[in-house]
Chains A and B, each alone.
Chain A
Amino acid sequence: MDIVFDKVGYTYQKGTPFQSRALYDIDLMIKEGSYTAIVGHTGSGKSTLLQHLNALRKPTEGTVTIGDRVITSETENKNLKGLRKKVGIVFQFPESQLFDETVAKDIAFGPKNFGASEEEGREIAERMLPLVGLDESFLETSPFDLSGGQMRRVAIAGVLAMKPDVLVLDEPTAGLDPKGRREIMDMFYRLHKEQGLTIVLVTHQMDDVAYYADHMIVLEKGTVMKEGDPREIFRDADWLKSKQLGVPSAVEFANQIQKQFGWSFSTLPLTTDELAREMKPFLLQKEAERQ
């Protein structure tokens, strides 16, 4: 299921003295099965944009096409449930959406809203918990007795339980420790690879973009500044810095080596693995020079 934005604009509180334009002239496409990263400075419109992905907000200009549904400013609020099932959103700090008595009931809440029976919901909850790294002993605990990291996992399980085709993640690892962060990001990547889940990731972590994404969208002041392959975009570190964005640490390191030693890498390394591989010829040459 592709998501296509055509000349999308969004103005908050349109027609009041307080109106403010959050998005304009957005043309973009999120292909089925892709892993798209959306980056941008705070206030660039990322969060507004991602609420368009399942029609929580409707564009004030242009059209958003989600699968075969076309959303315009005139689209009515009815019959959008089907879309919401197909596009799951994990909002920032999703643990604040937990409310039910037990973890099992909370995870089953989404599926039940979309018509699953009590038993099916229970079954889905049992299957989802191990997926996010918790065991079955948590099923009957109250979500409010869990630690912050565990609550986050339960909330994510609640969104995955709806079996979305597209998963939208708004800084899913903000405030987690490095280990939990890695585990959760790897889990999403596994779902992307194994089940062909389309993922849209909004993040400030350029390392995550470099490790996982195959498509990248740079937003600034409400519009798309650049779109394409992360490797291409990270090549221009100065441009990114001028937009108050950084580059992944491997790219930063590689750039330093290039600057200091006049060395040029055959391909720009994005991850530490790639960096290690690309460093080998450089180190060998240095070694040879020393002898």
Chain B
Amino acid sequence: MMDKLIFGRYIPGDSFVHRLDPRAKLLGAIFYIVIIFLANNWATYAVLALFAFTAIYLSGINRRFFFNGIRPLIWLILFTVVLQVLFTSGETVYLSLGPIVISQEGIINGIFIFVRFVLIIFMSTLLTLTTMPLSLTDAIEYLLRPFKLVKLPVHEIALMLSIALRFVPTLMDETEKIMNAQRARGVDFGEGSVFQQMKAIVPLLIPLFVSSFNRAEELATAMEARGYQGGEGRSKYRVLHWGRNDTLVMVAFAVLAAALFFLRT
């Protein structure tokens, strides 16, 4: 069921992109998603696509992974594109049928939106495929540090994030295990009316919650037994290291933004 999801998975490797500092990658991906909205003509989209494909090439990851990443979202994308094509009025109208208008502007807009979706998915897939989840939380903790000034509990948020990420696969396994156990006792998941389907989830949800409570209690005890007393005065095992390449990547993003400003109409 969850087997097919490529989204959010990490593929170990040793490429230029893999070696970058997670802060650089996270900042870069966010920045890219923001500036993609500056693009409004063919030239700007071409520059953005070129940038994304260069990044993918530098990561050394098979392109198939990226196309697989789009697949679960393709219907959502096509739905948006079709709406855009059908309901954008413009000067050169090809077909007009009541509220439905197919115009040149609509088609072009549809294509732009399609490209925008694909590029955003490519860049975020690239981020998760090349960065370990734990490194990402480290990066988030670092980047949130300024918010300590407004009393945001940054350490706690980062700790919760890393524990949550660590337990995602464990909980997935547990879910599948309990599902199998209940199916062996005659439960049909995903069959029958909506009400029946909802009722079938109870024997899955309750054991999951109970085991999460137990696990939380055990984990808290184990952490205290190992001397954990909160974020104050802790040192770090994984130290982030900002190198020359990271600065270079930031410069590349700045150049990209400048190019977009220059080329947009």
Contact = CB atoms under 8 A, between A and B. Distances in A.
A109 interface: yes
Nearest to A14: B3
Contact of A97 (B4, B64, B68, B182): B182
A254 interface: no
Nearest to A113: B186
A18 B211 CA distance: 28
**What are the 8 A-B residue pairs with the smallest beta carbon separation, nearest first?**
A113-B186, A99-B206, A97-B181, A110-B185, A89-B184, A13-B3, A99-B203, A91-B181
B3 A12 contact: yes
B186 A17 contact: no
A54 B68 contact: no
B185 A91 contact: no
B185 A96 contact: no
Interface stretch (A80-88, A125-133, A206-214, A274-282): A80-88
A17 B177 contact: no
Nearest to B203: A99
Interface of A: 12-13, 16-18, 51, 54, 56, 78, 81, 84-85, 87-89, 91-92, 94, 96-100, 109-110, 113-114, 144, 158-159, 162
A91 B180 contact: yes
Given A16-B3, A84-B186, A144-B210, A99 B202 contact: yes
B113 interface: no
A51 B64 contact: no
B186 A162 contact: yes
B185 A56 contact: no
Q: Which of B9, B186, B203 has the most CB of A within 10 A?
A: B186
B177 A56 contact: no
Majority-rule SS of B interface residues:
helix
B180 A96 contact: no
B70 interface: no
A84 B183 contact: yes
A110 B6 CA distance: 35
B44 to A, nearest CB: 32
Nearest to A109: B185
Q: Which of B6, B183, B184, B202 has the most CB of A within 10 A?
A: B184
B184 A54 contact: yes
Contacts of B183: 56, 84
Q: Which of A12, A17, A162 has the most CB of B within 10 A?
A: A17
Given A99-B206, A110-B185, A16 B68 contact: yes
A21 B142 CA distance: 40
B188 interface: yes
B207 to A, nearest CB: 5
Contacts of B62: 17
B4 A16 contact: yes
Contacts of B68: 16-17
A89 B178 CA distance: 12
Contact of B207 (A78, A97, A110, A113): A97
Given A17-B6, A17-B62, A97-B182, 4 more contacts: A17-B65, A113-B186, A113-B187, A159-B184
